[in-house]
Structure 1
Amino acid sequence: MTSYDIAGQTVTMPVQVRDASAATILYEVDAAAARALLPGDAFRVVENEPGRAHFALVLVDYRDNDLGAYHEVGFTFFVRPASGGEDGTFITRLPVNQEFTCEAGRTIWGFPKTVERIDVENTPTSSTWALFVDGQHAFTVRTPRGGTDESPAVPMTAYSLIGGEPHRTTFTQGGRESQVVFGGEGVELTLGDGPLAKELAGLGLPGAPVVLTTWTERMRATFEVAQPLT
């Protein structure tokens, strides 16, 4: 059984998420702009059609999690290892609002977590997230909330760099009270200032087409140990 010492606490793998709310806003963006945000050359952006790629803005409110309760915002692209292999996700930015999960995420999986201010406001039909980086308003986004569907736990792959070396993390995610909304109905994104806002603008946001949004009110997940690519 693998474990890590994080800030004086022992984290035993796999990490379990027992309760969280999660939203994904999937945009279609220019593939070259997406490629420019990937570090190094270990991964290639997956094009959904020539010259086009998908960018997912992921919002998670972790309520019961081995790494604590916290908010998280992910900038996520779909990639394939340059050496070959299955498609997966690669996170280029991962702001959180708690120190412990920041250290754990960077140490265990090589995820690019930073500690930032994240304000969340929910209504029965929407969830609004505002991110502030170094005191600057980076963006505010509103996304649809709600649903009655069940989402079975599905195995997925996340890629990252640990010490500059490519790694693969297998995780499963599912839950209940879910929905999928096709198109951009209910999505409103306002950009602020700073490098993070400029990255989104460079991808064509807020005007880039929204492919779909998802919401899971009661999300569960399991994250395994990161394994080096061979």
Structure 2
Amino acid sequence: MFARLKKDIQAVFDRDPAARSALEVVLCYPGLHAIWAHRLAHSLYVRGWVVLPRFISNLARFLTGIEIHPGATIGEGLFIDHGMGVVIGETAEIGDNVTLYQGVTLGGTGKEKGKRHPTVGDNVVIATGAKVLGSFTVGANSKIGAGSVVLSAVPPNSTVVGIPGKVVVKDGCKVLSDVAANIDLNHDNLPDPEGEMLLCLHRNMARLEKRVAQLEEELKNRDPESV
């Protein structure tokens, strides 16, 4: 238990440059408090308890703004940055060394029974406000861009942006052996497929306008009276 608590604290130091001391992390990081409360609630939940784990979950939500259902399975090294508005559903599964930013939802899409929440692989980063909805897998070492809505499976080593989310980078970088190096926190440095498409349309329009002007000039030189 103490080894796991130590890993939870170390995850904060690895991914938050604002962390100054272990005492500060233990006392002042709501994401860490929510994870610890969940570990207690989950241990009771898997033993058949229902009301008490839900009460602990609701108390943690009241204190931290982070809602984690007691049934969710969470690996080691989860880091929830700030965390306000984070929601993790009952059948969600989260691997090791995952990073969630504020406003992230790991939710379902309806009232279906059984597995209805996503499975998140190791070393995944899900940026601010992203919604991952449904029973599918987000592959290891992937990044979900801020504000994205992901409704289908994400291959490993991929970057997803947009609504609905689309894979824009796959196998773009080598996976390193060191755990801390594997965690790519540059979730602000993402492609913009919509912006690239608009730029492409702008270039095509400029090219067509230039070509029309050339044709008008040629027509004018051939028959000035027709223009």
TM class by smaller structure = under 0.3
TM-score by length of 2: 0.21
TM-score by length of 1: 0.21
Structure with larger Rg: 2
Structure with the higher strand share, 1 or 2: 1
